Amino acid sequence: MPELVFFSGTMDCGKSTLALQIEHNRSARGLQGVILTRDDRAGEGKLSSRLGLVTDAVEVEDGQDLYAYIVDHLSHGGRADYVIADEAQFLVPEQIDQLARVVDDLSIDVYAFGITTDFRSKLFPGSQRLVELADRVEVLQVEALCWCGARATHNARTVGGVMVVEGAQVVVGDVNQADAIGYEVLCRRHHRRRMTAASARAAALSPDVLPVSSVS
Helix (H) or strand (E) holding 164: strand 162-164
3-state secondary structure of 159: strand
The Cα 82–Cα 91 span in angstroms is: 18
Pair 69, 108: CB distance under 8 Å: no
Q: CB under 8 Å to 88, separation ≥6 — which residues?
A: 6, 38, 96, 112, 113, 114, 126, 127, 130
Whether 184 sits among the annotated catalytic residues: the reply is: no
Nearest-angstrom CA–CA distance, 191 and 184: 10
Which member of 3, 23, 44, 87 is catalytic?
Answer: 87
Other CB atoms closer than 10 Å to residue 56's CB: what's the count? 10
Cβ neighbours around 103 below 10 Å, total: 20
Q: DSSP letters along 77-112, please?
A: T---SEEEE-SGGGS-HHHHHHHHHHHHHH--EEEE
Q: Report the catalytic residues.
A: 87
